[in-house]
Amino acid sequence: MKITCTQENLNHALNQVTRIVNQRASLPVLSNILISAEKDRIKIASTDLEIGICFWIGGKIEEKGAITVPAKIISEFVSTCTDKNLKLISKGTELKIESVTYKAQITGIDADEFPLIPEINEKPIAIIKTKTLKTAIPQVLPAVSLDESRPVLTGVYWQFKEGNIILAATDSYRLAEKTITPVKSQKQEPIIVPFKTMSEIERMLSQTSAEEIEISIAENQIRVLIGDNCEIISRLIEGAYPDYLQILPKSFKINTKVDKNELNNGLKMASLFARESANNINIDFKKDLIEIAAEAAQVGNIDSKIKVQAEGEETKVSFNVKFFSDGLSVIESDVIYIEVSGSSTPIKITDPNSKDFFYILMPLRTE
């Protein structure tokens, strides 16, 4: 392989693919990235066997070929290099990198040992505006479970409906659901996309200028094509996602309208005293205010009062303050609605300016 490309383009590509590389992988080749000269473009790829990322850049290709080299050393070398252009020449398992100022040789591993990243050639089942998905992912991601004992909850649930796509996540303590309207979509069986994959998609979307992304599915794999130079291939989580709609309250005792920033400040203050009590706080929902209280035996206690507009029956509920704050952090509006059905049933938090998102929070059981 003999290629020439700009330091800027190669550095950008390496930044996109190296995040998923496991430096302590059991297979040495998994600590490497693949550099391949194909036709008229240069491919930079990485995989951890669960997810694969491919990124293409332009360059001058004198000889085709491929090699894998340690991700850490090449990414650090390229990011540190101040020369505009780089020439990469591979021979066997050695890669030479030359610029005006520097000459380096990196020992790699034969490209044939690099795990195959599946190819998905099926037509897209959905085309989504980049901005739409970039906004949606952070709203559901906090509710994904980190408990590997229930694998289906460690990903985001996608439902492909007529004219929209529903994203949902729950860890049994809170639930987030976001409905998005794609540019184009067709009916498809629901899928569960792993947390890590969703995080990588979110990161890629924040750095791309592409206006749309394409979603394709085949053989328990998802392909996300971002623009024409970035592709994420990931396995899907197998299993049946729970029917989370069953936990949604059918009616509410009190409906409260509150300033999000004032409530958030009250929660932050309460969290200072809730650390020693498993983040437990008590909220008393009244008709003209809510009271937030927290107590720690070794620290003291706090009581905050926040003015609200409310209708219904006064109710007192206990919550995990972190989970409550997570729900507020993903709502864009300055005002939120909180619907409370009882001291032992979930509450519903919504944005009055948007009907496409809700956050459900389970109360804590208290003696």
The domains located in the chain, with CATH, are 2-113 (3.10.150.10), 126-245 (3.10.150.10), 249-361 (3.10.150.10)
Kindly indicate the confidence band of residue 64, based on its pLDDT and cuts at 50, 70 and 90: very high
Give the Cα separation of 215 and 232 in Å (integer).
10
What type of residue is 75? S
pLDDT in tens, 229-256: 999 999 999 999 999 988 888 889 999 9
Cα end-to-end distance, the chain, whole Å: 70
Q: Is 73 helix (H, G, I), strand (E, B) or coil?
A: helix
Over range 1-26, report the average pLDDT. Answer: 94
Among 72, 82, 76, residue whose Cα is nearest residue 6: 82
Give the Cα separation of 287 and 189 in Å (integer).
44
- The total of other beta-carbon atoms located within 10 Å of residue 205's CB is 22
H/E stretch holding 301: strand 300-307
Whether 367 shows a pLDDT value over 70: the answer reads no
Q: What is the pTM of this model?
A: 0.93
Q: List C-alpha distances in Å: 8 to 38, 201, 349.
A: 20, 22, 44
pLDDT in tens, 139-148: 999 999 999 9
Kindly indicate the confidence band of residue 276, based on its pLDDT and cuts at 50, 70 and 90: confident
Residue 137: Cβ-neighbour burial (10 angstroms; 0-12, 13-18, 19+)? buried
Task: Give me the pLDDT at residue 297, please.
Answer: 80
The pLDDT > 70 percentage for the chain reads 99
The edge-to-edge listing of strands for the beta sheet with 164-170 is 188-194, 155-161, 164-170, 174-180, 354-361, 347-351, 335-340, 254-259, 309-312
